[in-house]
């Protein structure tokens, strides 16, 4: 496990799937805000949950379960996706369960994903896209050194309307590591 001050990143356990599916996927309005893919009615029994652990492969994605270190409980998911080994970049994403939001776990998770991307994987640049009306994610990213690089006006279809997306980027040499390195 990669640990920070409030959160840890660990491999996805089969027991995590039901919790993440119920807390993140079955909340359709929230899922529509956190994933660019359309929500479809998927059940756990189908074996096609987005949260199923992946087998070992180099498919351009590294998915983690986020753990609240204070309680040991599952707090959400974090991932690097679109990993491009030629240009040494990736996209960063995370989604926290409702009970884990607003407690600093998100900012710590961004730091841990940066640590994984830059220190473990040797990437040069991370990027994230979030809705313009998601100040918590923007603050979490900026606390690690991400800078707003642009706004895609009315580019995301979110539960019945188009909304702006903000693109934030971070080269490795601009990463603002936490005072206690993970």
Q: Is residue 124 part of a domain?
A: yes
Q: Is residue 38 part of a domain?
A: yes
Domain count of the chain?
1
Express each pLDDT in 80-115 by its tens digit.
999 999 999 999 999 999 999 999 999 999 999 999
**The token pair that represents 123 in the structure block:** 């990437």
Mean pLDDT of 44-61: 78
Helix residue ranges per DSSP H, the chain: 14-20, 28-34, 105-114, 135-143
Output the average pLDDT for the chain.
92
* Strand 125-131 to 161-171 pairing: antiparallel
**The token pair that represents 20 in the structure block:** 């993440």
Q: Domain of residue 143: give its range.
A: 2-174
Number of H helices, E strands in the chain: 4, 8
Express each pLDDT in 17-52 by its tens digit.
989 998 998 888 888 888 888 888 888 888 778 888
**The token pair that represents 117 in the structure block:** 């991307």
* Closest-CA residue to 123 (of 165, 149, 85): 85
How confident is residue 182, by pLDDT bands cut at 50, 70 and 90? very low
CATH number at residue 78: 3.40.630.30
pTM: 0.92
């Amino acid at each position: 496990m990669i640990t920070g001050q409030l959160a840890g990143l660990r491999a996805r356990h089969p027991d995590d799937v039901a919790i993440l599916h119920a807390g993140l996927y079955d909340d359709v309005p929230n899922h529509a805000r956190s994933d660019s893919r359309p929500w479809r009615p998927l059940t756990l029994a189908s074996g096609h949950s987005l949260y199923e652990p992946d087998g070992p492969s180099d498919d351009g994605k590294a998915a983690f379960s986020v753990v609240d270190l204070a309680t040991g409980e599952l707090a959400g998911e974090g991932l690097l996706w679109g990993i491009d080994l030629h240009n040494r970049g990736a996209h960063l994403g995370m989604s926290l369960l409702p009970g884990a939001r607003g407690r600093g776990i998100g900012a710590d998770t961004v730091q841990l994903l940066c640590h994984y991307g830059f220190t473990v994987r040797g990437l040069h640049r991370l990027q994230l896209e979030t809705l313009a009306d998601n100040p918590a994610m923007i603050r979490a990213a900026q606390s690690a050194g991400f800078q707003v690089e642009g706004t895609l006006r009315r580019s995301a279809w979110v539960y019945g309307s188009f909304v702006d997306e903000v693109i934030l980027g971070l080269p490795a040499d601009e990463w603002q590591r936490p005072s206690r390195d993970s």
